[in-house]
């Protein structure tokens, strides 16, 4: 979402902190992914932002949804999203969640361990399971290789065990890392998929679902590959490895940030200033704990100020009393005064959904440019 005079003027109507969303940008992102990745089914990872208006908007565009929890399932059911458009690629699920999906006839779900297979077989015995594989996360801002995923060398064993337990192994999934800046991660993943696919076929396991995972990047402060560039390498790799199977393949992509991240701007107010030694500080009404959690791991956003004064190096503190609440360290910003507003760009994903009301500070409200 581009910061314009119109957006600044509209923002004046709302008390900070808040997110201002442009639904048309979400549609633009959705259509761009559909256009550039051949035959892909978009399954929005609703953990990125679960605002009902966003979910309803994507549903009208034809999106499917990827869920991770019982509450996310309940949210979609309340919105009357058809169960055939819901999948679950969280590799670890509670028995209660599994039972609820079984009742709703939601069959497609991920696993990455023997214990998860046993649990699925017990609580959701008719499931169609997708094995999550560890793949390269090189060049991603948020690597995701430790907590989840089976080693590729063990894949056949997992597929055979799932079949033995009465489940139907139908495909593979992975995650190339959140905010992936390296398009070759998808190429490497599809190469790994191909090897597993061939071995599975030899043992009478015919896989049909090829999940590309998430990781689609948006513009922050580092160069990123375009959707066109990512789509080109994915399409080439699928044609290379799966050319004889394209008619039977179900290709899914589970973007979160890539759909909603650049569709919103967060507006915040300068609430304080201080000089500590040689360091200039400013304080704002949103921080790590109530809206900018990703900055705790040095994730960076672009900031813009209404002021056009001389730039200076400042550290920005959030509103809480916690010493970790420092979302921006030593960044260049025009001189600002208490009461001035700052605009944090491309903050539509993993902001309000991560936030808490620690210390009594409010989670940013969400408003829409075109609702």
- Domain shared by 189 and 145, yes or no: yes
pLDDT at 335: 94
Instruction: Please state, in angstroms and rounded to a whole number, the distance separating the CA atoms of residues 287 and 295.
Output: 9
Residue 4 belongs to a domain: no
CA dihedral 300, 350, 256, 170 (to 10 degrees): 120
| Residue 208, domain CATH | 3.20.20.10
Average pLDDT, the chain: 94
- Domain shared by 201 and 269, yes or no: no
The parent domain of residue 71 ranges over: 23-259
- Mean pLDDT is lowest, of 4-8, 24-28, 29-33, 277-281, for 4-8
Minimal CA–CA distance to 66: which of 96, 89, 38, 33?
Answer: 89
**Which residues does 76 contact at the CB level (< 8 Å), separation at least 6?**
46, 55, 65, 67, 86
Asked if residue 244 has a cis previous peptide bond (ω within 30° of 0), the answer is: no
| Segment 157-167 mean pLDDT | 98
pLDDT in tens, 37-63: 999 999 999 999 999 999 999 999 999
Instruction: Please state, in angstroms and rounded to a whole number, the distance separating the CA atoms of residues 138 and 142.
Output: 10
Residue after which a domain boundary falls, among 212, 238, 259:
259
| Segment 225-239 mean pLDDT | 96
Q: At what angle are helices 23-36 and 52-61 packed, to 10 degrees?
A: 40
Residue 334 belongs to a domain: yes
- Whether 29 has a pLDDT exceeding 80, the answer reads yes
pLDDT at 156: 98
pLDDT at 168: 98
- Domain shared by 107 and 251, yes or no: yes
293: its two tokens: 């959690």
pLDDT at 318: 98
Q: 72: exposed, middle or buried (C-beta count within 10 Å: 0-12, 13-18, 19+)?
A: buried
Give pTM, 2 decimals: 0.95
- Whether 75 has a pLDDT exceeding 80, the answer reads yes
pLDDT at 22: 96
- Whether 247 has a pLDDT exceeding 80, the answer reads no
Residue with tokens 């633009």: 28
Straight-line distance from the first to the last Cα atom of the chain, in angstroms, rounded to the nearest whole number: 15
- Domain shared by 199 and 333, yes or no: no
Minimal CA–CA distance to 54: which of 16, 83, 81, 14?
Answer: 81
Instruction: Please state, in angstroms and rounded to a whole number, the distance separating the CA atoms of residues 114 and 268.
Output: 47
- Domain shared by 286 and 238, yes or no: no
| Segment 267-282 mean pLDDT | 97
Residue 134 belongs to a domain: yes
- Whether 371 has a pLDDT exceeding 80, the answer reads no
Residue after which a domain boundary falls, among 239, 259, 279:
259
pLDDT in tens, 333-342: 999 999 999 9
The pLDDT-based confidence of 309 (bands split at 50, 70, 90) is confident
Sign of the alpha-carbon torsion through 96, 101, 105, 111: negative
| Segment 162-171 mean pLDDT | 98
| Residue 297, domain CATH | 2.40.37.10
- Mean pLDDT is lowest, of 14-28, 193-207, 234-248, 343-357, for 234-248
| Segment 343-359 mean pLDDT | 97
DSSP 306: S
Minimal CA–CA distance to 218: which of 32, 59, 35?
Answer: 32
SS3 of residue 141 by DSSP = strand
- Domain shared by 195 and 283, yes or no: no
Residue 167 — φ and ψ, nearest 5°? Answer: -90, 165
pLDDT at 127: 98
- Domain shared by 195 and 328, yes or no: no
- Domain shared by 40 and 185, yes or no: yes
Residue 167 belongs to a domain: yes
Residue after which a domain boundary falls, among 220, 238, 259:
259
- Domain shared by 307 and 225, yes or no: no
Task: Please count the structural domains in the chain.
Answer: 2
SS3 of residue 349 by DSSP = coil
- Domain shared by 249 and 268, yes or no: no
Enumerate the active-site residues.
321
pLDDT in tens, 94-132: 999 999 999 999 999 999 999 999 999 999 999 999 999
- Domain shared by 290 and 301, yes or no: yes
- Whether 146 has a pLDDT exceeding 80, the answer reads no
């Amino acid at each position: 979402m581009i910061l314009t005079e119109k957006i600044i003027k509209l923002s004046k109507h709302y008390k900070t902190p808040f997110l201002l969303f442009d639904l048309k940008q979400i549609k633009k992102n959705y259509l761009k992914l559909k256009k550039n990745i051949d035959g892909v089914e978009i399954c929005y990872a609703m953990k990125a932002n679960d605002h009902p208006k966003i979910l309803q908007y994507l549903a009208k565009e034809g999106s499917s949804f990827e869920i991770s929890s019982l509450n996310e399932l309940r949210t979609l059911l309340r919105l009357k999203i058809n169960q055939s458009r819901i999948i679950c690629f969280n590799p670890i699920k509670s028995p209660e969640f599994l039972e609820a999906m079984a009742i709703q006839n939601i069959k497609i779900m991920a696993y990455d361990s023997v214990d998860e297979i046993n649990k699925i077989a017990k609580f959701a015995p008719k499931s169609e399971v997708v094995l999550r594989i560890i793949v390269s996360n090189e060049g991603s801002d948020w690597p995701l290789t430790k907590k989840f995923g089976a080693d590729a060398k063990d894949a056949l064993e997992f597929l055979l065990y799932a079949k033995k337990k009465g489940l139907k192994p139908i495909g593979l999934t992975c995650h190339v890392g959140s905010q992936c800046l390296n398009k070759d991660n998808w190429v490497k993943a599809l190469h790994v998929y191909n090897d597993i696919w061939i071995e599975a076929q030899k043992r009478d396991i015919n896989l049909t679902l090829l999940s590309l995972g998430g990781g689609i990047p948006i513009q922050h402060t580092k160069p990123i590959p375009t959707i066109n560039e990512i789509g080109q390498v994915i399409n080439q790799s699928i044609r290379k490895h799966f050319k004889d199977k394209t008619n039977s393949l179900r290709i899914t992509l589970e973007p979160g940030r890539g759909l909603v991240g650049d569709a919103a701007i967060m507006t915040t107010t300068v609430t304080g200033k201080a000089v500590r030694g040689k360091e200039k500080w400013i304080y704002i009404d949103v921080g790590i704990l109530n809206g900018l959690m990703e900055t705790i791991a040095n994730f960076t956003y672009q900031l813009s100020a209404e002021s056009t004064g001389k730039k200076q190096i400042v550290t920005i503190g959030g509103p809480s009393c916690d010493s970790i609440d420092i979302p921006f360290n030593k960044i260049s910003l025009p001189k600002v005064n208490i009461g001035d507003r700052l605009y944090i760009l491309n903050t539509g994903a993993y902001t309000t959904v991560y936030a808490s009301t620690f210390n009594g500070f409010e989670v940013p409200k969400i408003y829409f440019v075109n609702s």
